[in-house]
Amino acid sequence: MEQTIKNMYQQMGISEGVFQFCEEILDGLTERFAEIDKTAEYNQMKVVKAMQNCKVSEACLLGTTGYGYNDLGRETLEAVYASIFHTEDALVRPQITCGTHALALALMSNLRPGDELLSPVGKPYDTLEEVIGIRPSKGSLREYGITYSQVDLLEDGSFDYENIKKAINEKTKLVTIQRSKGYQTRPTLSVARIGELISFIKGIKPDVICMVDNCYGEFVERLEPSDVGADMVVGSLIKNPGGGLAPIGGYIAGTKECVENAAFRLTSPGLGKEVGASLGVLKDFYQGLFLSPTVTAGALKGAIFAANIYEKLGFRVVPNSTESRHDIIQAVEFGKPEGVIAFCKGIQAAAPVDSFVTPEPWDMPGYDSPVIMAAGAFVAGSSIELSADGPIKPPYAVYFQGGLTYEHAKFGIMKTLQEVIDAGIASI
């Protein structure tokens, strides 16, 4: 059987040397992968329990059109999300187009002119810069008289508590905490660390709203940021919680007031959560959520596999090969653009869709440098599916994530290694 698997990989363009190198790496990861499976099992039960407690029925899968009044499936799904995240309420809608939209919605609905937004974890993800107004853009928070303050992490990645305390003032209304690293090579924040930060901030100003950008972090741990004091957790359904099936959508789970504000901003004052047809996507939302813990576990294994391979080759990887994991993203620093491009070519060549195309850097909207993206996905832009991307600028790091199955994530990483070796960037 082993020979058959090796032959199959060779048919898929993997050399015997790469196959053997990867198998040796995997031999040392058995115990680690078993721990991930235990977390997935716990989270699977958490999702099933929420669905049962909220009485999900066949009728919930049908959806509505038009105004979407009395949409049983939509309202039940939002109750399921609130149950999973242990929050008072949730907004889960196909009308939320992406993660950036969900975050913008949460910010714009809960901030008013004269308020200040604080990021105590450094620069936010690139696409939020225009939402905030760090880079000028039409309709930014800055245009509405909302100011922004930022405290960078210390050099070792820890919180700068002294300057965070100084930054909090009478205008500070909302604190945004980005869990994942974005296009940075800083550590991803664990739920425990997020809880410590929220506790510190609330100790200074109890009424401040703490929002966590939870993208790429859902179901990686047994707790979510809302379990440790976050007033809002925000994410995209074409990442972890959509399980690869959700074709669009985002969520905001949190306090009743925060979610209500977001609903009024999404639709209209006076209408809020009462409107918004589900348009036939509810089955995919429910089934994707059901699969999400297992899909996330497979993606997490792929990220750890990648870290161990590229660290052994001498590249800086974040997180490193042994660190605890708090999201599904793996960064690899190549130090030159050729490495980023070769890695992305490998991911694209491993895809089930569009494997025959070659990814190239381009000037994407919302970014300040050319970006290369590789993904042959069933849902366009879905980064819970096998994908990799990165800005073409120093330190020339690529960011890998996803894989609807662990086996596909494994093949994708093997394919990147083959491309990197064939390009002369590394050797084994």
List, for residues 350-377, the tens digit of each pLDDT value.
999 999 999 999 998 777 789 999 999 9
Q: What is the predicted pLDDT for the residue at 364?
A: 81
Q: What value, to the nearest 5°, has the Cα angle with vertex 303 and ends 298 and 309?
A: 125
Residue length of the chain = 428
Is pLDDT of 200 > 80?
yes
Distance between CA 17 and CA 343 in Å, rounded?
Answer: 18
| Residue 2's pLDDT band (cuts 50, 70, 90) | low
Q: What value, to the nearest 5°, has the Cα angle with vertex 89 and ends 86 and 95?
A: 120
Q: Which CATH superfamily is domain 2-43+293-422 in?
A: Methioning gamme-lyase, C-terminal domain (3.90.1150.60)
Distance between CA 188 and CA 181 in Å, rounded?
Answer: 5
Mean pLDDT of all residues in 411-425: 98
**Could you tell me the pTM of the whole model?**
0.95
Nearest to 299 by CA among 418, 180, 428, 394: 180
Fold that domain 63-289 belongs to in CATH: Aspartate Aminotransferase; domain 2 (3.40.640)
User: Where along the chain do its domains lie?
Assistant: 2-43+293-422, 63-289
Q: What is the predicted pLDDT for the residue at 1?
A: 54
Give Dmax over CA atoms of the chain in angstroms.
67
Q: What is the predicted pLDDT for the residue at 184?
A: 80
| Residue 53's pLDDT band (cuts 50, 70, 90) | very high
Domains 2-43+293-422 and 63-289 share a fold: no
| pLDDT, tens digit, 9 for 90 and up, residues 208-267 | 999 999 999 999 999 999 999 999 999 999 999 999 999 999 999 999 999 999 999 999
Mean pLDDT of all residues in 63-80: 97
